[in-house]
């Protein structure tokens, strides 16, 4: 897997501005949660929230490097409020989800499949990365931060396993749907898309049927030259 090819590092001012915008969204979601709306408690200390959705949008629109930067900013915003354990758990979970999507992108790009099949593959692989990764991360982090015994850490890892799958589904599906909901013209103007070619004005490949001017190409009959 060639990371630079999947996610080239973009240094233009527009990309940095978009990074700041999405990072601010992540910070707001973490700093001012709305209980029962943007922060749904499930079991133990686990809550479902939409924080991971902007991270997926950053991955799709700006690339993997910026999504990792956004995760780091999220970690700082949580740790700054004295929640080092929560920041670490959240950071590792979101990083695993992003890595799962990157891995899924590499697999699906090599195969012919429908869009919905591709999305399901992304959801399945990202869920697998997050749930399995956090299972082992909980075994390590719970004793470190909370002094939990191995048995208690194992019980927490099993308890949180299905909820990590649910959270991964929320992040991936929500991120993809919101990204696709952005009009293609706005995506072009904002510079969103992994196929950005800096300096050449190529933002991302657009199907011809989405370009109004392209629909008439090839439909007109060539005029006969007068002899």
CATH assignment of the domain containing 62: 1.10.1760.20
Torsion of CA 128, 133, 139, 145, to 10 degrees: -130
For residues 126 and 97, is the Cβ–Cβ distance under 8 A? yes
User: What is the pLDDT at residue 194?
Assistant: 64
Tally of domains in the chain = 1
In this structure, is residue 227 part of a structural domain? no
In this structure, is residue 51 part of a structural domain? yes
In this structure, is residue 223 part of a structural domain? no
Write out pLDDT tens, residues 122-181.
999 999 999 999 999 999 999 999 999 999 999 999 999 999 999 999 999 999 999 999
Q: What's the CA gap between 69 and 141, in Å, rounded?
A: 22
Q: What's the CA gap between 69 and 30, in Å, rounded?
A: 16
Q: pTM higher than 0.85, yes or no?
A: no
H helical segments located in the chain: 3-6, 13-31, 52-62, 64-79, 84-108, 115-146, 150-181, 184-190
Low-confidence spans in the chain with pLDDT less than 70: 1-8, 194-227
In this structure, is residue 222 part of a structural domain? no
In this structure, is residue 168 part of a structural domain? yes
């Amino acid at each position: 897997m060639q990371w630079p090819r999947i996610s080239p590092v973009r240094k233009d001012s527009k990309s940095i501005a978009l990074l700041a915008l999405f990072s601010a969204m992540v910070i707001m979601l973490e700093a001012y949660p709305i209980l029962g709306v943007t922060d749904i408690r499930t079991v133990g200390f686990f809550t479902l929230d939409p924080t991971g959705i902007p991270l997926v949008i950053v991955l799709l629109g700006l690339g993997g490097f910026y999504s990792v930067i956004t995760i780091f900013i999220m970690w700082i915003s949580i740790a700054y409020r004295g929640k080092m354990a929560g920041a670490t758990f959240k950071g590792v979970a979101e990083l695993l989800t992003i890595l799962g999507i990157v891995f899924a992108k590499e697999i699906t790009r090599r195969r012919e499949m429908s869009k919905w099949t591709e999305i399901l593959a992304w959801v399945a692989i990202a869920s697998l990365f997050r749930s399995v990764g956090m299972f082992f991360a909980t075994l390590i982090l719970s004793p470190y931060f909370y002094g939990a015994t191995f048995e208690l850490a194992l019980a927490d890892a099993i308890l949180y396993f299905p909820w990590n799958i649910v959270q991964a589904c929320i992040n991936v599906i929500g991120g993809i749907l919101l990204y696709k909901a952005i009009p293609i013209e706005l995506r072009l103007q904002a510079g969103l898309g992994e196929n950005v070619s800096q300096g050449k004005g190529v933002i991302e490949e657009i199907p011809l049927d989405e370009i109004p001017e392209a629909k008439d190409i090839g439909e007109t009959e060539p005029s006969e030259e007068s002899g």
